[in-house]
């Protein structure tokens, strides 16, 4: 028989009073008999972690966030693909795989452009403004490529040196001094605010020195974020949006979003989630 006890595995809800957080254990057999029964009998598992999300999805047990949300965590390539499939406005982006494709970077993009670590990065890390060939070589020789600048295949060369299998994620540069962070929890906007870049960094991430501003956020940007989250099936996500040439563009989705915006707005994030759980919203 199922019970009404709210169970979480990941630590996001550990300070919520209406949830029991069991903590992540990669070996399911390491959970006690009581914990195992709580998991099996729960109507829903909160923050199951990426490891267990797929397993619960396979057995038909609902989770929050849902499996689709976890499927896109820190994967810019998948995010760009779904944006393109759903016709969601997004900066022009192309992923270059292998030696032959990487030769085409400068035939497709002109300096300056943005280069990103395609997977596993957040908080503005792994995002580079590429102004010249030297910076492109430096990007292609970062640890996730694991190659030296001497091995990079330049346009119009015939070298057969091997490039790393890691793809190059290249995006048009849309100059801006601020962006918009919209957090969607469940199917509602929980908070929206501006992130203003400082004068020394092109990134507006708070972790990169950006400031939070609660100046009025355009309704069109908020509507775009909510529409994107719903179409993509993401139920716990922070969307980053910029305005470029009069159009709002979704840059990327952050499932591991920061909470400084909530704190600055005077919103207790833990109480917010407690209430959403109590209401049955999530």
Q: Which domain holds residue 148?
A: 92-172
In a domain, 72, yes or no: no
Report, as an integer, the average pLDDT of 26-52. 97
User: How many domains does the chain fold into?
Assistant: 3
Report, as an integer, the average pLDDT of 267-276. 98
Say yes or no: 165 and 184 in one domain: no
Note the pLDDT of residue 144. 56
What is the secondary structure of the chain as a DSSP string? --B---EE-SGGGTT-TT-EE----SSGGGS-HHHHHHHHHBS-EES-HHHHHHHHHHHT--EES-HHHHHTTTBHHHHHHHHHHTT-----EEEE-HHHHHTTHHHH--SSEEEE-SBS--TTTTEEEE-SHHHHHHHHTSTTT---GGGPPPTT----PPPPSSPEEEEE----SEEEEEEEETTEEEEEEEEEPPTT-S---GGGT-EEE-SPPPHHHHHHHHHHHHHHT-SEEEEEEEEETTEEEEEEEESS--SHHHHHTT--HHHHHHHHHHHT--
End position of a domain, from candidates 151, 172, 193 = 172
Say yes or no: 234 and 156 in one domain: no
In a domain, 78, yes or no: no
* CATH (domain of 234): 3.30.470.20
In a domain, 122, yes or no: yes
End position of a domain, from candidates 139, 172, 205 = 172
Query: With bands split at pLDDT 50, 70 and 90, how would you rate the model's confidence at 126?
Result: confident
Nearest to 179 by CA among 256, 88, 244, 86: 244
Kindly report, residue by residue over 73-110, the tens digit of the pLDDT: 999 999 999 999 999 999 999 999 987 888 899 999 99
Say yes or no: 168 and 216 in one domain: no
Residue 160 has pLDDT above 50, yes or no: no
Least confident of 119-123, 148-152, 228-232: 148-152
Note the pLDDT of residue 125. 73
Report, as an integer, the average pLDDT of 144-172. 56
Say yes or no: 28 and 118 in one domain: no
Say yes or no: 215 and 168 in one domain: no
Least confident of 51-55, 88-92, 130-134, 209-213: 209-213
Q: Say how far apart CA 155 and CA 153 lie, in whole Å.
A: 7
Kindly report, residue by residue over 176-226, the tens digit of the pLDDT: 999 999 999 999 999 999 999 876 566 566 655 679 999 999 999 999 999
How far CA 69 is from CA of 119, 143, 231, in Å, comes to 15, 27, 12
Query: With bands split at pLDDT 50, 70 and 90, how would you rate the model's confidence at 150?
Result: very low
Handedness of CA 172, 174, 175, 176 (dihedral sign): negative
Nearest to 127 by CA among 255, 252, 245, 6: 252
Say yes or no: 112 and 166 in one domain: yes
Residue 152 has pLDDT above 90, yes or no: no
Say yes or no: 215 and 272 in one domain: yes
Output 137 or 67, whichever has higher pLDDT: 67
Say yes or no: 156 and 108 in one domain: yes
Note the pLDDT of residue 156. 45
In a domain, 188, yes or no: yes
Say yes or no: 202 and 239 in one domain: yes
Handedness of CA 125, 146, 111, 109 (dihedral sign): negative
End position of a domain, from candidates 172, 187, 207 = 172
Query: With bands split at pLDDT 50, 70 and 90, how would you rate the model's confidence at 166?
Result: confident
For 33, how many CA atoms within 13 A lie in the half-sphere containing its CB?
A: 0
Say yes or no: 136 and 217 in one domain: no
In a domain, 87, yes or no: no
Say yes or no: 102 and 189 in one domain: no
Question: 72, 78 in Cβ contact below 8 A?
Answer: yes
Note the pLDDT of residue 154. 45
Note the pLDDT of residue 209. 61
User: Across all residues in the chain, what is the average pLDDT?
Assistant: 89
Query: With bands split at pLDDT 50, 70 and 90, how would you rate the model's confidence at 162?
Result: very low
Note the pLDDT of residue 151. 40
In a domain, 102, yes or no: yes
Note the pLDDT of residue 143. 59
Note the pLDDT of residue 103. 85
Say yes or no: 40 and 56 in one domain: yes
């Amino acid at each position: 028989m199922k019970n009404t006890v709210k169970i979480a595995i990941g630590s996001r809800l550990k300070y919520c009073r209406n949830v029991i957080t069991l903590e992540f254990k990669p070996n399911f057999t390491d959970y006690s008999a009581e914990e195992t029964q709580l998991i099996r009998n729960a109507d829903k598992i909160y923050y199951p972690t990426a490891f267990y999300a797929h397993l619960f999805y396979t057995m038909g047990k609902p989770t929050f966030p849902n499996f689709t949300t976890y499927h896109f965590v820190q994967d810019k390539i998948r995010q760009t693909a779904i944006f393109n499939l759903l016709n969601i406005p997004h900066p022009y982006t192309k992923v270059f795989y292998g030696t032959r494709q990487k030769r085409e970077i400068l035939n497709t993009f002109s300096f300056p452009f943005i280069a990103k670590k395609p997977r596993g990065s957040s908080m503005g890390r792994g995002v580079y403004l590429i102004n010249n060939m030297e910076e492109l070589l430096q990007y292609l020789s970062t640890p996730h490529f694991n190659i030296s600048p001497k091995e990079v295949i330049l346009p119009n060369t015939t070298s057969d040196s091997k490039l790393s299998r890691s793809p190059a994620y290249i995006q048009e540069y849309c100059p801006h001094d601020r962006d918009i962070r919209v957090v969607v929890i469940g199917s509602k906007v929980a908070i929206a605010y501006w992130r203003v870049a400082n004068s020394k960094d092109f990134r507006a991430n708070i972790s990169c020195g950006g400031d939070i501003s609660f100046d009025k956020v355009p309704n069109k940007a908020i509507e775009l974020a909510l529409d994107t989250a719903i179409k993509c099936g993401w139920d716990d996500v922070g969307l980053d949006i910029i305005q470029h040439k009069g159009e709002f563009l979704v840059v990327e989705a952050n499932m591991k979003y920061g909470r400084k915006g909530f704190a600055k707005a005077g919103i207790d994030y833990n109480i917010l989630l407690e209430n959403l759980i109590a209401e049955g919203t999530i």
